[in-house]
Chain A
């Protein structure tokens, strides 16, 4: 164990996961700093769940390794799980166990278990403690699982698509709990999600998995800073629709040619570059607007279409 790595709550190194001939994760490396909130995004089947399973020591990677607190999690899973809270995609508590029984089961396993806190949380959520898990609603199940995950004040929280199937109110409640936990304890969070607008304000770093590869791994602030949507018209060729090399400096990710002009998503925006852009001959009515995380995601994982490019 490398002492400096001990401070990294979660990391994967060259992680590859294969199922027979299909590759779920290909040579993925990322690391989650202490106190960060890392959101891993990707389409269904992009490899997120496989990565999470490897990160929790529940699956052995085909090559590479997953580390928690500097240790290989496949080898030291039982010990490391004492410091981790897990909210899985599907609530997997035994259906016959009531919330009270689940808490009783967990209490014996963690020295730092705070039963009073769990009880308060369940009361706050309005979850009946004596009803078997299998008969709770989806939202209630998620709340129980979250309460159990937080019950031992973990240093790291791993959530796999925690808002899947939740209505707007339940989602907000979940985020509020999460934020409360962040504020009180500075917990490190690693989550995968499809609710991009919900995590946008909370995540500090984002990663995007596309076909098993990590195509983006960046701090939210810099991500927001360099992605923009630029709309303009190109007067040069007489048709407003064609475009040429004027966008090259911006490293356009996706360019759509519309009737009124060109709609481009660029990944290397800077104010100075934009000034120069506006002064390019033929560029008219240039507008720049910021992009939400969802829009950035769609641009990165969507297909690139470069129609009508004049080379």
Chain B
């Protein structure tokens, strides 16, 4: 008989991050998938600012991945200001997205846009179609965030 030892808050956290779909077989590195997934959850409001995220240990066990991978994703997100690490306390979603200098934000946005544009072009999409999709995605995120509130 296994003992259920997880405490309630962790259950809530893990339920939330189950929305993170990590596929080890995917060509993207796992840490990158975790990073992207967490970003999405924060952006959609599923993870509210100030909410606790599972510990590296717990998330790694849940996803069945190497803790170093999770640690790397958390580190990158912490450096990017999405997460904040409180020593001895755990890891939390940052209260507010860190104010990034405009040049840096522009560069990050440019990189993301280039990726999106390459994807669309290789699929044979057109600019209007791409822009349409982009706007729809933005709305979906905002809507989700609105639902949360």
Contacts and interface: CB of A to CB of B under 8 A. Distances in A.
Interface stretch (A8-16, A109-117, A288-296): A288-296
B68 interface: yes
B68 A204 contact: yes
Contact of B24 (A37, A124, A201, A228): A201
Contacts of A291: 25
A183 B65 contact: no
A201 B56 contact: no
A24 B118 CA distance: 49
Contacts of B1: 126
Interface string B22-37: 1011110110000000
Contact of A201 (B3, B5, B57, B64): B64
A290 B64 contact: no
A64 interface: no
**Residue of A197, A203, A221 ringed by the most chain B CB atoms within 10 A:** A221
B43 interface: no
A269 to B, nearest CB: 8
Nearest to B55: A183
Contacts of B51: none
A268 to B, nearest CB: 14
Interface of A: 35, 37, 123-126, 172, 175-176, 179-180, 182-184, 197-198, 200-204, 221, 224-225, 228, 290-293, 295
Chain B interface size range: 20 to 34
B66 A225 contact: no
Given A124-B3, A201-B24, A182 B60 contact: yes
B107 interface: no
Contacts of A202: 64-66
Interface string B3-27: 1010000000000000000101111
A88 B66 CA distance: 22
Contacts of A183: 56-57, 60-61, 67
Given A179-B61, A179-B66, 16 more contacts: A35-B68, A123-B3, A124-B3, A175-B61, A176-B64, A179-B65, A180-B57, A182-B60, A182-B68, A183-B56, A183-B57, A183-B60, A183-B67, A201-B24, A290-B26, A293-B25
Contacts of B30: 201
A172 B3 contact: no
A228 B25 contact: no
Interface in B56-97: 56-57, 60-61, 63-69
Contacts, number: 67
Contacts of A126: 1-2
A11 B142 CA distance: 53
A219 to B, nearest CB: 10
Contact of B22 (A176, A197, A201): A201
A157 B51 CA distance: 36
16 contacts: A37-B66, A124-B5, A175-B64, A179-B57, A179-B60, A179-B61, A183-B61, A201-B22, A201-B65, A201-B66, A201-B69, A202-B64, A221-B29, A290-B25, A293-B24, A295-B25
Nearest 5 CB-CB pairs, A to B? A292-B25, A290-B27, A201-B65, A183-B57, A183-B67
B57 A184 contact: yes
B125 to A, nearest CB: 16
Contacts of A123: 3
A178 B67 CA distance: 10
B11 to A, nearest CB: 16
B24 A182 contact: no
B26 A203 contact: no
A183 B55 CA distance: 10
Contacts of B3: 123-124
**Residue of B22, B24, B57, B60 ringed by the most chain A CB atoms within 10 A:** B24
